[in-house]
Amino acid sequence: MGILEGKRILVTGVLTDASIAFSVAKLAQEEGATVVLTGFGRLSLVERIAKRLPEPPPVLELDVQSTEHLDTLAARVGEHVDGLDGVVHSIGFAPQSALGGNFLNTAWEDVSTALHVSTYSFKSLAVACLPLMKEGGSIVGLDFDASKAWPVYDWMGVAKAGLESANRYLARDLGKHNIRVNLVAAGPLRTMAAKSIPGFKEFEDSWPEKAPLGWDLSDTVPAAKACVALMSDWFPATTGEIVHVDGGVHAIGA
């Protein structure tokens, strides 16, 4: 039996098989979970990627900026599973003007988009899934360490700082529902999202050298394993936490 045997998991943010969310979905299935995916935009692409999983799951459309999509999410997920034990938030976006060293010149319209999609959606997704989590469960979000001002990350860094704060408030307010809320702060990985960041090569060049454990920019499995562990029954009293899966860079003053 796997550590997610019998659990029902919703995974958002699968774009390609190089995404952390794909690795989470794959590992969750291998550990015994029933998985439902959500996608946005090119849904046919997500459906093709889903067929590469051990058991192709249903794929639902979810635009986290759409009130209609959020309001109907529980009913649509409920057509495939009778409840949820885990939810993975792997959603983030910032317009190009909000990245790449343009911090002082980014217009509010673009900043608001980054905050809505990357920060506020964590709360929106949790609330949308709450009716399906009557027996409690675990919500896990994907993070990038927001304790520092990183090169080129700019307003996405601010959005991630907001995500870390939202994580604590959600942990506070969902605890009474026996729902744990935690983040996994992964190091830089060559995902679709990373490729959209101007100057991402700065992370690629320095991170493996700084990490005490080393760092493989192409390996999403360590972050996925942390997500799966947090959704299992092995962290029954952990909430509001940020688990760093970055080779140890966050702990080093270099």
Confirm whether 160 is a catalytic residue: yes
* Residues counted in the chain: 254
Cα dist. 212→124, 208, 217 in Å? 36, 8, 15
Residue 1, CB-side half-sphere exposure with 13 Å CA sphere: 6
Cα(206)–Cα(221) distance, rounded to whole angstroms? 21
Strand order across the beta sheet in which 8-11 lies: 59-61, 34-39, 8-11, 86-89, 137-143, 179-186, 242-245
Look up tokens 């307010």; give the residue. 173
Spot the catalytic one: 51, 160, 176, 225: 160
Let me know if 51 is a catalytic residue: no
The CA-based dihedral angle spanning residues 20, 34, 93, 167, taken in that order and rounded to the nearest 10 degrees = -90
Q: From the candidates 153, 169, 201, 225, give the one annotated as an active-site residue.
A: 153
Give the E-state strand segments of the chain in sequence order: 8-11, 34-39, 59-61, 86-89, 137-143, 179-186, 242-245
Query: 64: helix, coil or strand?
Result: coil
Could you give the residue numbers annotated as active site? 153, 160
